[in-house]
Amino acid sequence: MSTVTLDKLTKVYPNGFQAITELSLTLEDGEFLVLVGPSGCGKSTALRMIAGLEDITSGDLYVGERLLNAVQPKDRDIAMVFQSYALYPQMTVAENIGFPLKLRKIGKRDRHEQVYQAAEILELTEQLEKKPAQLSGGQRQRVAMGRAIVRRPALFLMDEPLSNLDAKLRVQMRADIAGIQRELGVTTFYVTHDQVEAMTMGDRVAVIKDGILQQAAAPEALYENPDNVFVAAFIGSPSMNLYEATLAEADGDYLLRLGDQTLAVPDRVVAARPALRDYLDQPLVVGFRPEDLEDASVVPDHPDDQRLHTEIAVREALGAETLVHFAIAAPSVDSGDPDALDELGDEESSRCTARFSAATRVRVGDRVRVNVSTERLHFFDRKTHLAIRS
Amino acid sequence: MNRRTFWGFTIPSVVVMLALMVFPLVTTVWLGFQKLLLRDLNNPEWVGFDNYSDVLTDPEFWAAFRFTMVFVAIVVPVTMVMGLGVALLLDRVGRGRSLYMAALLLPFIVTPVVGSLVYKDLFERGGLLSWLWEVITDDPFAVNAGNVKWLIIIQSIWYIMPFAMITFFAGLQTLPQERVEAAAIDGANFLRNLWHVILPHLKVLILFVGLISIMDAYRVYDQVFVWTGTRFTDAHTLSVYNVRVATAFDIGRLGKGNAIAVLNVIGIFMVLIPFLWRSYKDQIAERT
Amino acid sequence: MRRSSTLSRIGLHATMLVLVVWSILPFIWTFQTSIKFTRDVAAKEPVLWGYETTANAYRAFWLDEDDINMWSVLVYILVVAVVCLILGQIGRRVRHSWPWFTAAVGVIFVALWRFPKVWEVNDEYDFLINSIVVTVLTMLISLSIGLLAGYGLARYTGISGAVILIVALGFRALPRTAFVLPYFFGAKEIDDWLNSSGVGSWDFPLIDFPGIDTLQILDTRLAIVLALVAVNQPFTIWMFRSFFMEVPKEIEEAAMMDGATRLQAFRRVIIPMMWPAIIATGLFTMLLAYNEYLFVRVLAPTEWTLPVAIVSLTGGESSRTITEAAAASVSITLPIVVVIILFQKHLVKGLGAGAVKG
């Protein structure tokens, strides 16, 4: 019914800046798709093109069978929630929510009823007569939602709707919005820079960088099988550790040289990725997530040749787990995320983050052995940054 | 907003400005080259730069020019310094501030010709201040060609000062309190505070008030006309001289009047062009 | 703020009082003159207090009858003012204030229209009406086209917007004399054409203005209004633009997503947010129109507004006495005093806003 199709959408600004390049995506009816990317990657531009607030330079936009390129925003049957909420300050909450209905010339009685229904869903019935200035941040956010859901549009657009809320409220609203969307079953296109939001809310997550779509997949798939270095680094927190390394074969065993250390890579790991054999003895990019590292003293029964030896530099006890940082004598890899913190380290050594279980007793300065789950290593081409899989 | 929508919104205003500002300005330039008398408007005659040489050799023009320059040179700095001083005082007043403000604003808000009339009444025969003068100096006081220029200047300061005051006052309201407190902690006395905290904060406003005051002082008409009428033509400013030449009963010379107007426009633009250029640059920078 | 000592507080208030006296002394003096008898005014030594008061001057200036009880006139004006104030207050408390505002305007209109039917008035009453008509029309036209243009200029990012703004800024600086002469000449030319072609004496069946037989530009209120609207445009568009810049563009985008056209978004969402700006800009426009002298004198040789009337009627050759001149000055100033008292906050805010963006 309301499948949304973006076919090679491209946006070039008058000053020549290409914000979006051939973005193609299909949203199934009722799907919650999250477009995520670092700041300035063009994700808001994509959203505004769908809304009709920006002209489409080239490419086609369909909702259902209808081509929307030249349709006015008001006639697109699309509702939008803005980052700043954009509530009308002189109207009460009820008038704000009812405004789309009023513009559609829906009678007073029907309007009241529908506004009340929307307010009930959003738990705003107590606030209906207040002005936006009298509301808390979370309530304002709900009013903005109310204005969108009251008219049952074909598509919801949400532009970082939670970024102005404090952390606690954000977690709660995350669940609420996802719940409301499921309840209403309206196709939703959600934009955020926060990968946690993307992973927790989306049926599918599309990662975008510099106006180019990197990968679109279900959250788990994105996490397990990132297509390239950028996606690998961007999804997951703390980020995946990524280094330049070399895979060598000696006496039928595979060894990964990571700086001055070596890790044995089981045969089946290479067998699952036949293409890896082409990279033997050549530099490639290896990645492992912090949760795939563990303190050897907590899990002693781990093959000793699949361990790193290092000295703890920083320790952050989070209660349920402990994050530790240490140096690895291998060059790190720039994932291309402009929001990423500058890596501590230089050509010779890079920072590595590990997520140990809370049972660990390591302290700063301790020399430790770290188990590496080699089954879960990720390999990428050093030049193209694409995953080496097949 | 796209170009078509923009013009849709802007066109009424642009048409008004084209028809009633750009076109008249062109007419002014054209009329400046004509010999044209008020009593015979139907027979303009092209005389080239005759009007201009006529104006530039007219001693009355130079007298008006000189007085206008003196007027600007005194009124603008005095109103600005006074305005800043009063604004600082007003900023310290807690209770009764709005009452003081209303009273201080009155000269600026009131009809300028009426303001001039009531001010003049103080100095006329039987007026409060002329009587005081007589009591103090034992000499009768009368408005004459000698003192009328000073009276005009004093009354203009009285009239314009509230504008500077209220603008600076509005600016002081936006002064971040932390900056004042930081200066106080650093042990700044009032003068240091003024120099290092307040004046830098008001920099843009000072430029703004200065420019507006220069423009308004340069084209002053109402006060001067009320004080001088046809009596003290020595104390005429450029605008009054201009209107007098153009519209004087029976001998009005519209052509010459327009030539004066063109010279006046050129005069103010010499001051303004750097500022306009800077504003244009700002505008362009805002757009990219 | 630091707590200041009592002494410095007294000093501060004393200084302020001196400044206040410097500001309003002329008005006090003139007000005293207007309520004195001629003999007290003519006295060698000014009579500062203890004099007998009279409303003779006001009666003589405005009214054509000698035996009117001025108290009844005062009561008339007071009743009108109180009714308008009550309507305005109701309007502020009730959500939809437009009907109440309209009602207040209606009351003023009826009061002005009935006044000369109750008392015989002098010609000066026509000048008052002219002043009101010119001021109201200038405000209406100037503000409506200024609002539209200010919005366009705030939202459009093309170069032509910058050019319009800068040209307007330049116009703001020009002396009035650069405009008044071509206005006069142009109006004269148009009138000559209207006369010679006969268009001016056409009989328009539907438009029958009482007292107007021929169509002309010069010496009409229309001429004054057009001139004032034009010279006020630069100020209006800059002022409105700076206020519109403060309205986030997401607000109208939200309205457009909600199903509004650009114009609907402007009218139903943006304009209601702009009332403080409209009031501030409107106040300055009002002062400009109400106070204008030069344009009226040159463009309207007989259709005077109050400032021209007062200057002309109190000049040397006039038969009006000093007390009548003073009464006239007080009468023209009074509405302005009321305006500052009512709208002081908006006025200050407007000056601040215009200035900061300058």
Instruction: Mention every residue, 6+ apart, whose C-beta is less than 8 A from residue A59.
Output: A6, A7, A8, A9, A10, A22, A23, A24
Q: Who's near C125: CB < 8 A, 6+ residues apart?
A: C62, C115, C116
Q: What is the pLDDT of residue A345?
A: 52
Q: Report the DSSP pairing between strands A32-36 and A204-209.
A: parallel
Residue given tokens 């070039």 in the structure block: A12
C236: Cβ contacts below 8 Å, ≥ 6 apart: B13, C142, C143, C146, C149, C150, C281, C285
Alpha helices (H) in chain A, listed in sequence order? 43-51, 93-103, 108-121, 137-149, 167-184, 195-201, 219-224, 229-234, 267-272
CB-CB neighbors (< 8 A) of B167 in chain C: 351-352, 355
CA pair distance C48, C29, nearest whole angstrom = 9
Q: Which residues of C touch A (CB under 8 A)?
A: 248, 250-251, 253-261, 264, 269, 272-273
3-state DSSP helix/strand/coil % of chain A, to nearest 5? 30, 35, 35
- CB of C26 within 8 A of CB of B129? no
From the list B10, B16, B106, the residue facing C152 with the nearest CB is B10
CB < 8 Å to C261, chain A? 72, 74
Output the tens digit of pLDDT for each of chain B's 288 residues: 888 899 999 999 999 999 999 999 999 999 999 888 888 778 888 888 999 999 999 999 999 999 999 999 999 999 999 999 999 998 888 788 888 988 998 898 899 999 998 898 888 877 888 888 888 888 888 888 888 999 999 999 999 999 899 889 888 888 887 777 777 777 777 888 888 888 888 888 898 889 889 999 999 999 999 888 877 888 889 999 998 888 876 778 888 999 999 999 999 998 889 888 988 998 888 887
Within 8 A of A72 by CB-CB distance, chain C residues are 256, 261
Q: By the 8 A CB rule, do C125 and C62 touch?
A: yes
Distance CA B269, CA B264 (A): 9
- Residue C157, both tokens: 């990012």
Superfamily in which the C123-357 domain is placed by CATH = MetI-like (1.10.3720.10)
Kindly list the domain boundaries of chain C, sorted by start residue.
69-118, 123-357
Q: Does residue A194 sit in helix, strand or coil?
A: coil
Question: By C-alpha distance, which of B155, B152, B173, B158 is closest to B104?
Answer: B158
Does A147 contact chain C (CB < 8 Å)? Answer: yes
- Give CA–CA dist A112/C1, Å, rounded: 50
Which residues does chain C have within 8 Å of residue B8's beta carbon, measured at their own beta carbons? Answer: 152
Rounded-to-integer distance, Cα A37 and Cα A192, Å? 7
Residue B23 CA: distances (Å) to CA of A79, B14, B18, C145, C294: 47, 12, 6, 19, 20
Tokens, residue B224: 């001067």
Question: Using one digit for the tens of pLDDT, what is the confidence trace for A319-362?
Answer: 889 999 998 888 888 877 776 655 555 556 788 899 999 888 88
Higher pLDDT, C117 or A373: A373
Q: What is the pLDDT of residue C87?
A: 81
A241-380: CATH class:
mainly beta
Going from the C-alpha of A328 to that of each of A3, A332, A341, A362, B89, the distances in angstroms are 48, 9, 17, 17, 66
Q: Where are the domains of chain A?
A: 4-234, 241-380
Backbone angles phi, psi at A227, to 5 degrees: -75, -30
Q: Is B14 in CB contact (< 8 Å) with chain C?
A: yes
Distance separating alpha carbons of residues C135 and C189, to the nearest angstrom = 26
> ipTM value of the model?
0.89
Cβ atoms of A220 and A158 closer than 8 Å:
no
Task: Show me where the domains of chain B are located.
Answer: 60-286
Instruction: Count CB neighbours of B230 within 10 A.
Output: 12
**Phi/psi of residue A317, each to 5°?**
-85, 120
Q: Which residues in B lie closer than 8 A to residue C322 (C-beta atoms)?
A: 121, 126
C201-243 pLDDT tens trace: 766 655 555 556 667 888 888 899 999 999 999 999 998 998 8
> Which residue in chain A has the smallest CA separation from C254?
A86
The DSSP bridge partners found for residue C303 are none
Give B250→chain C minimum CA distance, Å: 14
Please, where are the H alpha helices in A35-166?
Answer: 43-51, 93-103, 108-121, 137-149
Contact status, residue A180 vs residue A11, Cβ threshold 8 Å: no
Sequence-distant (≥ 6) Cβ neighbours of residue A57 within 8 angstroms: A10, A11, A12
A190 and A145 in contact (C-beta within 8 Å)? no
In this complex, the chains that touch C, judged by 3 or more CB pairs closer than 8 A, are A, B
| Average pLDDT of span A263-275 | 88
Residue C172 has pLDDT above 60, yes or no: yes
A132: preceding bond cis by omega (within 30 degrees): no
Which residues, including other chains, have CB under 8 Å from residue A294's CB and lie 6 or more apart? A302, A354, A356, A357, A370, A371, A373
> How buried is residue B58: exposed, middle or buried, by Cβ count under 10 Å (0-12/13-18/19+)?
middle
User: What is the second-level CATH architecture of the domain A4-234?
Assistant: 3-Layer(aba) Sandwich (3.40)
Where does B60-286 sit in CATH, by number?
A: 1.10.3720.10
> A with C: how many residue pairs have Cβ under 8 Å apart?
58
Lowest mean pLDDT among A365-374, B35-44, C124-133, C325-334: B35-44
Contact of B187 with chain C, judged by CB distance below 8 Å, is answered with no
**Residue C198 confidence (pLDDT) above 90:** no
Q: Taking the C-alpha atoms of C71, C76, C80 and C86 in order, what is their torsion angle to the nearest 10 degrees? A: 60
Phi, psi of B141 (to 5 degrees): -110, 135
- Closest C-alpha to A176, from A207, A200, A147: A200
Task: Provide the 10 A C-beta neighbour count for residue C67.
Answer: 5
Q: Which residues of chain C neighbour A45 with C-beta distances below 8 Å?
A: none
State both tokens at B17: 């400005």
- The answer to whether the beta carbons of residues C57 and C31 sit under 8 Å apart is no
Residue-wise pLDDT for B201-240, tens only, equals 888 889 888 988 999 999 999 999 988 887 788 888 999 9
A93: pLDDT confidence band, cut at 50, 70 and 90?
very high
Element spanning C41, H or E: helix C38-42
Tell me which residues of chain C, numbers 255 to 294, contact chain B at a CB-CB cutoff of 8 Å. Answer: 262, 287, 290-291, 293-294
3-state DSSP of chain B: CCHHHHHHHHHHHHHHHHHHHHHHHHHHHHHHCEEEECCEEEEEEECCCHHHHHHHCCHHHHHHHHHHHHHHHHHHHHHHHHHHHHHHHHHHCCCCHHHHHHHHHHHHHCCHHHHHHHHHHHHCCCCHHHHHHHHHHCCCCCCCCCCHHHHHHHHHHHHHHHHHHHHHHHHHHCCCHHHHHHHHHCCCCHHHHHHHHHHHHCHHHHHHHHHHHHHHHHCCCHHHHHHHCCCCHHHCCHHHHHHHHHHCCCCCEHHHHHHHHHHHHHHHHHHHHHHHHHHHHHHHHHCC
CB C354 within 8 A of CB B163: no
Note whether A307 and A264 are within 8 A (CB). no
Contact C148, C239 (CB under 8 A): no
Test the C interface: residue of B7, B17, B227 with most C CBs within 10 Å: B17
- pLDDT given for residue C1 in this prediction: 45
Q: Are B163 and C355 contacting, i.e. CB atoms less than 8 angstroms apart?
A: no
> pLDDT digits over B150-178, tens only?
999 999 999 999 989 988 988 888 888 77
Dihedral sign computed on CA atoms, order A102, A107, A110, A116:
positive
Q: Dig out the tokens for A138 from the structure.
A: 């979370």
- Reference C178, options A35, A195, B221, A80; nearest CA is B221
Residue A77, Ramachandran bin (φ over 0: left; ψ between -120 and 50: alpha; else beta) = left
Does A99 contact chain C (CB < 8 Å)?
A: yes
β-strands A187-192, A32-36 pairing: parallel
